[in-house]
Structure 1
Amino acid sequence: MTTLFFDMDGTLIDSAVGITRCVEYALVKMGLPVPAESELRRWIGPALRTSFGPLLNDPVRVEEAVLHYRDRFEAQGWSEHEIYAGISETIESLHAAGHRLAVVTAKNEPHARKIVEHLPFGHRFVDVVGATPDGRISHKDQLIAEALQRFGIAADECWMIGDRRMDIEGARHHGMRNVGVLWGFGGEAELREAGALHLATTPEELPRLLAA
């Protein structure tokens, strides 16, 4: 049985609206200027503290910003997303083919579980591995390590599927096969530079690539 680890934002769902509005909310609460939309979109993918850190340069203020972000996310940000066209059918197809599916995301794990529970294909994932609220586990290599430990499996039994360099770099850190997806937020240049083993233009391509 092959285990497939799916990133969430930019892979399963287009969560740009929810994430950018929550970042904007946190920045306003902190009395900081809100950058352009193109700049806000760079916050999609990395751990929150990774993004807030260089901007605030103060661990205490970083934690305050994270709490503001979570306040809005828990109230409404979690539901501000769209499912990518074709991903539902692809998840069903991969499940039917006998793959074991899980979500591995830098999102706070309670938030990620809430989202997955509301996805029409969410029941196909046997577990959701996300960041700890205190940030102790938040980077993709740490999250993959946690997932491997929970399942009690080796990295060569798995694939990591995601749209950002963090997904590819995290997979390569563990010697794991990977697919970079081009319908998310990273783009081809970023994924190739990170060393993606395969690139998928659409969700429908995933079963073929994973069977290679």
Structure 2
Amino acid sequence: MKYNHILFDLDGTLTNPREGITKAVQYALEKHGVYVSDLSELECFIGPPLQATFTEKYHFNENKAWEAVLSYREYFKDTGIYQNEVYDGIRVLLETLVMHGRQLYVATSKPTVFAVTILEYFGLSSYFTMVCGSELDGTRSAKTDIIQHVLDTCRIDKSDAVMIGDRKHDLIGAQNCGVHSIAAGYGFGSEEELTACEPTYYFKTVEEMQGAFTGLTV
């Protein structure tokens, strides 16, 4: 784990956005005639690109799925974006990594503008060299494309980088880009989902991850 460049997913890795995302999805579905009372049924929307999940879970066609994304943003941009919390231990982890000279980046499928707002709101933005997400028009939403954009823009040697995320999309994206991966078992991906992707490392808690990095940096 002697990586100088560390890429973090946002939702489910740095912060727990469960309330904000699921309520925004619930709002969007209701606008399209689908009513879901149990928010836990909507946790599958946390992490992957929204448009793809509307299609996969509710069989929306391409146009309807995009309309649902726009409806989702109506709720999320003013309310849901703040219904979020930083995971315990994340600030200490980021401080430790920066203190030991690591360069940190955010690679998220969330639109960059929303990711930047969240990081600034929670006082995390100063830790990161670059924040890369999707565009508001839906382009560059695949995690592979996002990770590769960070690598290319910052001229990072893939052998010196690692991607940390809580869903299979993060780990598969890392593999596609030729970088190592760390599965964050405390997020929203099940252990079965994450281990099936054969990540380079798997940590059940932020504390375990902190210990692994600290053991190499003291």
- TM-score, length basis structure 1: 0.94
Task: Give the equivalent residue in structure 2 for 1:150.
Answer: 153
Cα distance in structure 2, aligned partners of 1:21 and 1:13: 16
In structure 2, what is the Cα distance between the partners aligned to 1:83 and 1:94?
Answer: 17
SS at match of 1:75: coil
2: CA distance between counterparts of 1:50 and 1:155?
A: 27
Equivalent position of 1:181 in the other structure = 184
In structure 1, what residue type is equivalent to 2:209? L
Superposition deviation, residue 127 in structure 1: 1.1
Amino acid at match of 1:53: T
Is the aligned partner of 1:88 residue 2:91?
A: yes
Report the equivalent of 1:36: 38
The TM-score normalised by the length of structure 2 is 0.92
* 1:22 and 2:24 aligned: yes
Give 1:144's aligned amino acid. I
The structure 1 residue matched to 2:127, chosen from 116, 124, 127, is 124
Identity of aligned residues (%): 35
Deviation at 1:36, TM superposition (A): 3.1
Flag structure 1 segments of 5+ consecutive residues without an equivalent. Answer: none
1:50 corresponds to which letter in structure 2?
A
Query: How far is 1:207 from its partner?
Result: 4.4
Distance in 2 between residues matched to 1:130 and 1:111, nearest whole Å: 9
Task: Please state how far the C-alpha of 1:82 moved relative to its aligned partner.
Answer: 1.1
Deviations 1:82-137 (A, max 9, x none): 11111111110011011000110010111011101122332111111001112221
2:70 is aligned to: 67
Shift of 1:16: 0.4
Amino acid corresponding to residue 9 of structure 2 in structure 1: D
Q: Is structure 2 residue 85 aligned with structure 1 residue 100?
A: no
Aligned-pair CA distance for 1:51? 0.7
- Could you say what secondary structure the match of 1:92 adopts? helix
Equivalent position of 1:199 in the other structure: 202
Counterpart amino acid of residue 38 in structure 1:
S
Aligned-residue RMSD, C-alpha: 1.6
Residue in structure 2 matched with residue 2 of structure 1 by the alignment: 4
Return the alpha-carbon distance in structure 2 between the equivalents of residues 122 and 129 of structure 1: 12
